[in-house]
Every structure is written in structure tokens, then in C-alpha cells.
Amino acid sequence: AQSVSQHNHHVILSEAASLELGCNYSYGGTVNLFWYVQYPGQHLQLLLKYFSGDPLVKGIKGFEAEFIKSKFSFNLRKPSVQWSDTAEYFCAVNAQGRDDKIIFGKGTRLHILP
Amino acid sequence: DADVTQTPRNRITKTGKRIMLECSQTKGHDRMYWYRQDPGLGLRLIYYSFDVKDINKGEISDGYSVSRQAQAKFSLSLESAIPNQTALYFCATSDNRGPQPQHFGDGTRLSIL
């Protein structure tokens, strides 16, 4: 079965710092990949998704993620974070053609210092 | 009005009680999901439904049941609540263009004493 690992449980950065949150998945076949964000007290929102094509995916709010198949990774990046990016970020994977379930990682809590 | 509405928003109850969490949506989506969120564990899928006649177990369906009363309504029941079911529960919907849940409700915070 597919699984997702987010190695950074809690990240603290200052404003304007660059961000990279790690996400690795385990599944030998073709995957769909997602990043969601949950701002404090709010529900989850889809940040970006990868189905196929260009492995560099751009999402909302200046976020991007790169799919590296050889590393089974889909890391989330932002060149310059803002205080408003404080939130919890979840990576998720779906095994293409296997079923329609999405498996979420355990999340990374990002705290941006003003 | 919210696209996905969950009721109640908060609930405290005792062990052994039957509880129903309601979810309704105005998106017109066929697919609906129930997740629970626990600190440090992320979201785990309880049940999902791709249309009114389709119900599927997720990762952690034991102790839960669901009912898809209509396209717009998907309820989650805990037949006999236990303390380790204390969690934040989210309902979500999606259209048929991909497997990912697209719209989440605001969540129901459930505490079982």
C-alpha cells in the first residue's frame, strides 16, 4: 500500500526565508501527488497537485513543488515566506489506477516569525 | 454560505453514546469523504462515497458507519463512542475530475469522555 512521509514535523523560519518541506512516498507505480494547507482554525485547502507532465508544479500563493520520480519525492518550496504562511502543510498521494483513495502524510507545522 | 457544512461544530459526549455527524454540500459533487484528524497523525480516511449507492471503507472504518442519504448529504455515525475516537472530523467533497478531495467542511471537534 502507498504511504507518505513528511520528515519535518515542525519548522520555524523568519519572514523572507526560503522554504522547503520534504515529502517522500512509497509506491512503485504511477502516482498523483498533492499538497494541502491548513491555516490555524480553518479547514484544508488544496495548494497544488501533480498528475503528469512538467514535474515542476506551481500552486497558489507562490508555492511550487517538484516531483522527482527517482527519489520518490514531492517537496514543497517557496522562495520567500511571509508571516501569513504560518500553517500546517500536508502532503498526500494517490496510486493512479489502483483506487481513488488519497493517503495523507502526518503534516508539517510551519511557524513564521515576523 | 459554506459549500460544505458540518454539524455540529463541537460535541462532548460520554463513552457508549451513539453520535451522528452530519455533512451537507452545495457543490453538486458526487464524491464525499469523512476524515479524522489527530495531532501528529495527519488526516486518515474513514469512509468515502462516489455516489448515492456507493459506500467504501477507508483506512480506519472500524467503529464507524456512514449513510449517503442524498447526493448532498453524507452522515457519519459512531454507534458506541469510545475515548480514542476523540478527534477533529472533516467532511470533504470532490467532483469526478480527480481522486483528491477539493472542498472541506470546517470540521467537527468531538470529545468522548
pLDDT above 80: residue B1: no
Can you give the three-state secondary structure of chain B, one letter per residue?
A: CCCEEEECCEEEECCCCCEEEEEEECCCCCEEEEEEEECCCEEEEEEEEEECCEEEECCCCCCCEEEEEECCEEEEEECCCCHHHCEEEEEEEECCCCCCCCEECCCEEEEEC
With the CA atoms of A10, B101, B109 and B21 taken in that order, what torsion angle do they form, in degrees rounded to the nearest 10? -160
Residues of B in contact with A9 (CB under 8 A): 40
pLDDT above 90: residue B102: no
Interface test mutation site (partner A, options B104, B106, B108, B109, max chain A beta carbons within 10 A): B104
pLDDT above 80: residue A80: yes
> Scanning every residue of chain B, which has its alpha carbon at the shortest distance from the alpha carbon of A101?
B99
- Which one-letter amino acid corresponds to residue A55? P
What's the pLDDT score for residue A42? 86
With the CA atoms of A28, A29, A35 and A36 taken in that order, what torsion angle do they form, in degrees rounded to the nearest 10? -100
> Scanning every residue of chain B, which has its alpha carbon at the shortest distance from the alpha carbon of A35?
B100
What's the pLDDT score for residue A4? 92
Mind telling me how many Å the CA of A24 is from chain B's nearest CA? 15
pLDDT band at A99 (very low <50, low <70, confident <90, very high): low
What's the grid cell of residue B3?
459549500
Structure confidence by residue, pLDDT tens digits, A2-19: 789 998 899 999 999 999
Q: Cβ of A70 under 8 Å from any chain B Cβ?
A: no
Interface test mutation site (partner B, options A32, A35, A100, A108, max chain B beta carbons within 10 A): A100
Contact A105 B42 (CB under 8 A): yes
Of A34, A49, A90, nearest to B42 by CB-CB distance is: A90
| Distance (Å, whole) CA A43 – CA B106 | 5
Of B4, B99, B104, nearest to A102 by CB-CB distance is: B99
- What share of chain A has pLDDT > 90, as a percent? 74
Q: Which stretch of DSSP H or E encloses residue A35?
A: strand A31-38
| Distance (Å, whole) CA B36 – CA B87 | 6
The residue written with cell numbers 452545495 in the block is: B26
The residue written with cell numbers 451537507 in the block is: B24
Structure confidence by residue, pLDDT tens digits, B43-87: 899 999 988 999 999 989 999 999 999 999 999 999 999 999 999
Q: Hey, is A43 helix, strand or coil?
A: coil
Contact A92 B107 (CB under 8 A): no
Residues of A in contact with B44 (CB under 8 A): 104
> Scanning every residue of chain A, which has its alpha carbon at the shortest distance from the alpha carbon of B57?
A101
